[in-house]
Structure 1
């Protein structure tokens, strides 16, 4: 590694240590033990194998959760269950969600991991490798590109306006940090440039990553294709979403038969189960804890009695609260899984088939997924003739399958652009009704105040007051 890169690495570590004195959660003990200046390919691989930093293992989380907090899959009965003003503001789509809080994990954690991905990419240029090490070199580069593309995409879903092909794609997106120079002046790139960078990173990763990995915290070729399919779905480029999803499903991936999952376990699903393509975790949010969030009752009742998700995803709420809590994380713990799965890829391919007029393959995909979700011997295939009917079935299945995985907010932002699927959101809490219309500015969260303050000229995302009425 060059002297300049060493200096950047040590400077970043010094800043991290300083911040950790103010915020004990900034650096985990396990993370501290890995603080070495990378000099070899193995050192660079070790940086990317830090599952706390890169995947959000344990209580850390890496995928922004504010969108999931603001989405419509759960509710709360009173503000007394929320510990801070920021928590309350996020839940009610307030124009000022952070309430003066400077440390916003949904921004800080992804960008910290992006720094390390960039450090690895910069470091690769200065580390010699033999012909025998070419495969390792390519895998490390592909992993770093995947990590950066993945987290740029996740940041775009909360800190940039929704991708809309007919809208102004030159509007400000996110900050594209493409190097490890911590002193570099930062600015927001256009939405179009941001998505182009995500696609460039992931397309390059597809060509570099191996077909299979020994650990699901490392991305594979299938992971890069699954994520590309998700990105193209968000961009409403359905032919490309179809291509990427189809290529992914030709690789060694599998669906999990829910008949084989033990519902008596505290957390029924095993971490790294056969359906997981890539493992990552949502940043911990007070709202989404099992002890607080109550699953939307209409959503819960939409699961048929022979649908095994009804007993594997949910358990009765505790503490005398009504309804049910979510208990179906693929992390196998209270932490919420936000990775990539074979099931999601089937859903993407099914929707892309339907939106490109290929109705029979769309039905085949949705039936293949559902067959793995119901009591053995009780499955009745979904049948439909009209595109709208098939599409509605797929979107309903998508919401039910991907609960609390960080996908609902991006889906709302995308589907709100279609008048047939746009949905106004409402919450009733402490005798007040809060309403969020489909095209509200509040579907985009503000850039954290401290980032704006230290970046002269950086535009802030506009927000608006929402409609509140008394329910007494």
Structure 2
């Protein structure tokens, strides 16, 4: 069973080389040779490696409504919206999600395998570049394990199948078997912890690059997804540091054009574009009504909101154009992780402080009132509502839905046609919360175990 699916990574890598021939050489056998440390450093700035999360993550969530869905859906985004068993049968293009993440993993593995032998650079630079590649690879696997495996369950993680863990860049090598969920998370944790000592103290000049705060932020997210809430909060605090970057107060800006570019935003810790960073999304009316009408996020990022009664589906839309949405990690997410851990452990005042720190920068200052409650479930509800509003359309809601479903807190999600006709429903604990291994991968790896259908 040869590693045919890895051809996707190689093909994309060769495409990158075509636009970066100044920095890369292509060997006669078709393999890319990165020669000097500076080559590897520039390679980490490539457009491929600065984008990770696919826009289609949004359309799988309960945030999005597509009233004009075709009667016979064929596009991957339409099939993702309907949680189809497969999103494409086209063997000529990389499969949605899988192709992008494994393509990036291939690139990071190329860096990891070659950096030690690179010339014209210091050992410190080599260690830094290696550390950045380890962090980048861990970030990609965090997506994969939360797409193609069951949500983490400590009782079953050592048996639940996840995805193959790839370290080779030789397409003739055999495909490794699917690792377990526990094994993939062990790799994620180990790679990040191994990276931290050699990462720079900050990435203020380029938020797309690895740094210590970025590493702790990814570690915090991984701990959250494995239910290690206190560890998640601890790592989130380390990501924020002793002097946390300030949250941008939307009361102080006139339009989203005033929001800095992602590469230099102080409040973004590990910046990543999505595969379609400026795409409009049409929120469900239910989600739109979660916003207070005085919430400045509505003013800045949502169009055609009218008088906030939303009488018709598919009109009001989320449009980040001019203020690209970060699919990486940021200050607000870290504060929400701290808030969730605090709420779950009964530290309600701390949880509310974290949530209100965000809200006071989002609600019109003349009407802002802090949230208060002494009820644990209410406070946890505030945290999840703020996650949904603040982290909207960053590809994270699907993963929160999986977590909530595992806790029996996720209702059925229904897709409707142009009227009120039900097209499909994702029930609680539905098998489609775990994506099927792409058909093209199964075609080349027929012995690979399939997920439940």
**Where does residue 253 of structure 2 map in the other structure?**
261
Determine which of 111, 116, 126 is the counterpart of 2:102.
111
Find the residue that maps to 1:233 and give its secondary structure: helix
Residues 341-390 of structure 1, C-alpha deviations (whole Å, 9 max, x = no match): 10011001110111122222111111111121122343211111121111
Find the residue that maps to 2:84 and give its secondary structure: coil
TM-score after normalising by structure 2: 0.86
1:352 aligns to 2:344 (yes or no): no
After TM superposition, list the pairs within 5 Å mapping 1:27-426 onto structure 2: 27=16, 30-31=19-20, 34-36=23-25, 37-50=33-46, 52-56=47-51, 62-80=52-70, 84-100=74-90, 103=93, 104-127=95-118, 133-186=122-175, 187-213=177-203, 214-250=205-241, 253-263=245-255, 265=257, 270-272=261-263, 273-284=265-276, 289-290=279-280, 293-316=281-304, 322-328=314-320, 332-333=323-324, 336-419=325-408, 421-426=409-414
Note closer, same or farther for the CA distance 1:81–1:151 as it changes in structure 2 (3 Å cut).
Answer: farther
Distance 1:144 1:395 in 2: 32
Distance 1:120 1:15 in 2: 13
Q: Which segments of 5 or more consecutive residues in structure 2 lack a partner in the other structure?
A: 1-5, 26-32, 307-311
- Conserved 8 A contact 1:64-1:283: yes
Report how far residue 400 of structure 1 moved. 0.6
Note closer, same or farther for the CA distance 1:181–1:108 as it changes in structure 2 (3 Å cut).
Answer: same
Distance 2:39 2:437 in 1: 33
Residues 145-185 of structure 1, C-alpha deviations (whole Å, 9 max, x = no match): 01100001111221222212233532210111123333221
**RMSD over aligned Cα, in angstroms?**
2.9
After TM superposition, list the pairs within 5 Å mapping 1:432-443 onto structure 2: 432-443=422-433
Find the residue that maps to 2:147 and give its secondary structure: helix
Report how far residue 40 of structure 1 moved. 2.0
Q: Which segments of 5 or more consecutive residues in structure 1 lack a partner in the other structure?
A: 1-10, 21-25, 57-61, 464-472
Residues 414-468 of structure 1, C-alpha deviations (whole Å, 9 max, x = no match): 111112x2221111014334111121111111222222222242112222xxxxx
- Conserved 8 A contact 2:284-2:313: no
Find the residue that maps to 2:294 and give its secondary structure: coil
Find the residue that maps to 1:277 and give its secondary structure: strand
How many aligned residue pairs are there?
429
Note closer, same or farther for the CA distance 1:40–1:289 as it changes in structure 2 (3 Å cut).
Answer: closer
1:455 aligns to 2:450 (yes or no): no
Find the residue that maps to 2:117 and give its secondary structure: coil
Note closer, same or farther for the CA distance 1:355–1:31 as it changes in structure 2 (3 Å cut).
Answer: farther
Note closer, same or farther for the CA distance 1:404–1:123 as it changes in structure 2 (3 Å cut).
Answer: same
Distance 2:406 2:160 in 1: 17
- Conserved 8 A contact 2:10-2:106: no
Find the residue that maps to 1:426 and give its secondary structure: strand
Find the residue that maps to 2:340 and give its secondary structure: helix
- Conserved 8 A contact 2:279-2:319: no
